[in-house]
Chain A
Amino acid sequence: MSSGAQKTRVSVADWRVLDGEGPLVTSGLGSCVAVSVYDTDDAIGGLLHAMLPAAPSPVETPAKYVDSGLDEMLSAIYRRGASPDTVAAKVVGGSSMLDISVGEAIGDRNVEAAERALDDAGVPLVAAETGGNSGRSVSFCPASGDVTIDRVDSEVEVI
């Protein structure tokens, strides 16, 4: 994982942790969710881009799934020095862009899985921008906790 004051990309089924301004960025969120976790006292944070709600056992690619990806990323955040007492989370994504039967409601299920996994880990969810029917791109600043959301044909939003 990387550190430093530069834009760091997070791919699908991936997470990155860094300390500093960042930002961490990920694009092309459809039904996937982006979970950002940061320490409100220290400039340490991570961004997960997960595709599916729950990991099988055993899991080969933890970051592909909300639950196992969050587990892995939280461990890395705490290893960097973040305190479990002062972390907070924001969740973005989980849209339902397409009316197709295969993978029905996967966006909603991803959001529910993120809320559940954060609750299980004792990380408060302080903001969310989820659902709807459009794609999103996300830029996350670990130092401030700000999550900037960009959509085609929409105003930029910060949560």
Chain B
Amino acid sequence: MRVDLESLASFSQTGDRGGVRAADSLEALTGVPAYCDLTRTTLVDGEGLASFLGDASTRIEVPFDGALSGRALVSYEKPFAARIAEELGMGSGALPEVANILTSGFVDVWAEQAESTIDIQPPRPVEDDARVLEDAAVADGSAFVFESHVELADGDGTCRFAVLPDVEPFVDYLEAGSEDVTLSPGELAAYVQLTAESASAVADHLAAMTGIDANGVESHLDFVPVERVPSLLDDAAYEGAVFESEGGLNTVIAVLFDESEQGAVADAMLPGSDHDPSMAQSAVAELGNVTASGVLDGWANAIDTSIDISTPSHVHDDGRAVLDTVAAAYGRHADAIAVVDATVALDEDVTCRVCAFPDPQDADTVAEIASELTGDETVPEFPPEDAGGGGE
């Protein structure tokens, strides 16, 4: 059985339309322009799923069933919740209704492509994360999450909106929507394993270079419409390096550090020294180089080949502008792309974000790497090759 993830890459477009529809529904309810910022379809392991539940004080769960079953989790940042309460004049009592509206808007897009309806159940507060995780869709260690961030005009704060479909009905739904599509949740786990191994390599190499062990590691495989790629990061200033690889696999890989203060990465590399800006830049480039090489070496070793890495482009810039450039580069060839997305928190001062963008044309090679890393002889079909893009 082959895993056809191409349908998932193209399905990120459907998830994007769902996120936009949800924002439109909110705008209709409040009369305030609402925007859908990030939208992504994510493959994540069971442990990583917890990070998608959000940590806001007000979180609402909205179950749904019918043509598709699952649940939406709406996590309201305080400023966003306050703005909703103000606009609707209902206090915090408006938040379950807003969760309902968002969920309804999102699943309407799915329902339009299904043979039967999707029914929304009454919203309820999230009181027990463990119960939600138990109920959430996890099959062979992997789960799907459709994540959107919704914002209101002139407002602070975000509403983080995650839809978790139950795996089996979702796979049935995908298979019904496309001829010759066969998805195996077990084989999807190969890609989850690829991201986990990559994140582990990042943490190991950072620890070796800085002497600081990671105190938090997250990883997932994101499928993102190209125009949404920049929103994987916020618009804060990131320090880091961007590389290109060639040989066994063509990839663009960005190693970006979110610093509490400029120079925090260099301080970690060169403790106690009074380093000048050029020395700090070299230290960051070297750390990026070692980190990116660590990830790519793991991939190259899996398929017994070599992957060469370019001279880095040093960046100290708006994170979104950095990814904007990568997105535009790939946007000529694909409408949606896959991103190996790893976040490693070194300490309170430095977080390292690694985003690897395998060339869509090297999809088969990535599939082979994922398969080898799990010891699975079945080579899954990797997106986003020909995921709707016309190319040039």
Contact = CB atoms under 8 A, between A and B. Distances in A.
Interface stretch (A70-78, A80-88, A94-102, A116-124): A94-102
Interface stretch (B132-140, B179-187, B316-324, B373-381): B316-324
A51 B226 contact: yes
A136 interface: yes
B356 to A, nearest CB: 13
Chain B's interface size range is: 35 or more
A64 B227 contact: yes
A100 B330 contact: no
Contact of B313 (A52, A60, A98): A98
Contact of A98 (B318, B322, B330, B332): B322
A1 B230 CA distance: 22
A12 B327 contact: yes
A100 B359 CA distance: 13
Contact of A11 (B154, B227, B313): B227
Contacts of A28: 230-231, 235, 318-321, 323-324
B260 interface: no
A98 B230 contact: no
Contact of B328 (A27, A52, A134, A136): A52
Q: Which of B35, B242, B252, B327 has the most CB of A within 10 A?
A: B327
B390 interface: yes
Nearest to B317: A135
Contacts of B328: 30-32, 51-52, 103, 106-107, 110
A61 B326 CA distance: 19
Contacts of B317: 97, 134-135, 152
Interface stretch (A2-10, A39-47, A140-148): A2-10
Contacts of B329: 31, 100, 102-103, 106
B233 to A, nearest CB: 8
B237 interface: yes
Interface in B294-353: 310-311, 313, 315-332, 335
Interface in A12-58: 12-14, 27-32, 51-52, 56
B166 interface: no
Contacts, number: 131
A64 B228 CA distance: 11
Nearest to A2: B33
Nearest to A11: B35
Contacts of A99: 310-311, 313
Given A28-B321, A28-B323, A6 B315 contact: no
Nearest to B321: A135
A51 B331 contact: yes
A103 B244 contact: no
A135 B324 contact: yes
Contacts of B4: none
A8 B27 CA distance: 13
B130 interface: no
Contacts of A152: 237, 316-318
Contacts of A107: 325, 328
Nearest to A99: B313
A59 B327 CA distance: 18
B37 interface: yes
Nearest to B227: A13
B153 interface: yes
Nearest to A136: B321
A28 B318 CA distance: 6
B313 A97 contact: yes
A135 B318 contact: yes
B61 interface: no
Q: Top 6 nearest A-B pairs by Cβ distance?
A: A135-B321, A103-B329, A28-B320, A30-B324, A30-B325, A13-B227
